[in-house]
Amino acid sequence: MASIPQPRRPRASAATLPPHPAAESPNPLAPSRVFLLARAPPPPLLHLPQFVTEAKIKVGRPPYLVLPGPPPLVVAAVAQPPVATMCGILAVLGVADVSLAKRSRIIELSRRLRHRGPDWSGIHTYQDCYLAHQRLAIVDPTSGDQPLYNEDKSVVVTVNGEIYNHEELKANLKSHQFQTGSDCEVIAHLYEEYGEEFVDMLDGMFSFVLLDTRDKSFIAARDAIGICPLYMGWGLDGSVWFSSEMKALSDDCERFISFPPGHLYSSKTGDLRRWYNPPWFSESIPSTPYNPLLIRESFEKAVIKRLMTDVPFGVLLSGGLDSSLVASVVSRHLAETKVARQWGNQLHTFCIGLKGSPDLKAAKEVADYLGTVHHELHFTVQEGIDALEEVIYHIETYDVTTIRASTPMFLMSRKIKSLGVKMVLSGEGSDEIFGGYLYFHKAPNKKEFHEETCRKIKALHLYDCLRANKSTSAWGLEARVPFLDKNFINVAMDIDPEYKMIRRDLGRIEKWVLRNAFDDDEKPYLPKHILYRQKEQFSDGVGYSWIDGLKDHASEHVSDSMMMNASFVYPENTPTTKEAYYYRTVFEKFYPKNAARSTVPGGPSVACSTAKAVEWDAAWSKHLDPSGRAALGVHDAAYEDSLEKAPASADPVSESVFRPAHGESLAKTVAPAAAV
């Protein structure tokens, strides 16, 4: 296992490409237009699906694309790059009914996932097992369709995800022959080589189902943090179901659950087991000193590896710390990546908000500073309200925080896709890793602080990962999240949490360890005031009147008597506000089964805290709300009426107290362990 297996046929170079008939017989009235794709890439923000749809099918070998119009434009693909896909998968295994009607039903259910993969559909049938796939092609849209196979097609796999280290893995599979350029095909071959214990070798985001036809065994697995969604269900006939979204299971399964992240299911044992076992998972307190340069280098590597794409892409830029750092790192390194040679080295950034919102203003400033092509998108409160039912259908939750933030992201994704962009980078995960939510100001000690970050990361698949993936996938857009890189999480969670604590006496605000790591006076990543901008939750940052408008809308549809009887109507996760009640009624309309409502978490929360962290401040239990403004005495724009009523324990502090001194070097700002 030393080298990449040789391809089945040599790849032609530009010099050896045979002529195409269109070039051999040019129109005598006009010169023929024959171009190599490698020499004449489409311009940035070209609508790739339309580009391919309008082209005639590939002709001959090597593959050509003949674009319409006189004279014909022939594009020859010099080499087939890795095929990356974010898709929708549906697997049904061990059904009692193997009729054509059952196959048609599975295809019909798979179509419910077509928004995730509008580019192509595939299905593999083996006896009583069905593996279906809806493909979103990020590279080479005319090949690499799924399901994928090993050499003799005895192993079948349907995958939703991106495997960033696929080339390295292929290099160690010397005896295997790969049939496609897909980064996901490596899963079938790794299974052949290592059995079920290969999943931890994968670096990426994924959910997959693999069928071994030799003994009719199967496995299913989900990535470490749960970036890619996956649900598991059971039919009355004894069948086992897996799907990227609940909507493909909710009608035909008697029971279904959210597949836990970092887990693998094996039909051989009939149970789930956790394959992801990092040191932080035990929640024991780490003691490694803070190393700002290691944080910076690890994050930059995480961002760069996610530039594996051959379609137009961009960055979701809210103007907050996390998305701004993603955009800054991409801007710095884009020119040296392969994608720049195809799409150019100017980054496109996207932001959405109500006119005059905090995010729009900050995002434009960051975009101007980085020199990106910035797209400022607007929506109104009414447009957001009009989209609520569709959002809840796609997001598959009734959680208040998630719906508030998902709606503008859902609207933004539609506009981004209309520009021909198919992949975006986003800043999810940083607040969970570094304790960035404003309620962390009240963490009583480093043990409580660290345990809360662990709880938040473990629950990400139910909140921010779910929102980021499903809001974008609703429009066939893929979101990548570098903060949730496995290696970066290990580095960040290995830091002694004393360094992450908010220390007013030392001038440390939330996420100081991250801000300080990128505070470079010689070659600044961001303007100082952006680098140290206070945490603003997405649903707040798009405009404070957005949440207020949602509450007003819910009040018009939910009466006091409905709230009085809420515990009888919804005994599980009983809604405590009219807004929560309204979302619940919409959710139940689409997903009425008990199994569906059980996939959504519940419990008291303030400013996105877990129920445990609500105990950190007695005042919070009287003002439970997931908005960042509910962090009384911490958020600069906290609810004014609440601040007036808040007891002294809320300890209001001005913004200047939290803002650290600027202009100091990394060495000067890192406090020694003894002083922390």
Q: What is the side-by-side order of every strand in the sheet holding 231-234?
A: 120-126, 129-135, 88-93, 240-243, 231-234, 255-258
Report yes or no: 165 and 204 within 8 Å, Cβ to Cβ: yes
Pseudo-torsion of CA 655, 658, 663, 665, nearest 10°? -160
Residue 29: DSSP 8-state: T
Q: What number of other Cβ atoms are within 10 A of residue 69's Cβ? A: 9
How far is Cα of residue 286 from the mean position of the Cα atoms in its chain? 27
Give the integer Cα–Cα distance in Å for 487 and 415: 33
Q: Which two tokens stand for residue 108?
A: 């019909």
Q: Helices 400-418 and 578-590 sit at what angle, rounded to 10 degrees? A: 60
Give the integer Cα–Cα distance in Å for 215 and 267: 11
Nearest to 266 by CA among 242, 299, 298, 236: 242
Give the integer Cα–Cα distance in Å for 307 and 196: 29
Give the integer Cα–Cα distance in Å for 303 and 287: 26
Catalytic member of 87, 129, 253, 454 = 87
Give the integer Cα–Cα distance in Å for 29 and 415: 42
Give the integer Cα–Cα distance in Å for 534 and 540: 12
Position 494, amino acid: D
294 backbone dihedrals φ, ψ, rounded to 5° = -65, -40
Give the integer Cα–Cα distance in Å for 124 and 106: 11
Give the integer Cα–Cα distance in Å for 84 and 141: 9
Position 511, amino acid: K
| 228 part of the active site | no
Report yes or no: 443 and 501 within 8 Å, Cβ to Cβ: yes
- Which active-site residues does the annotation give? 87
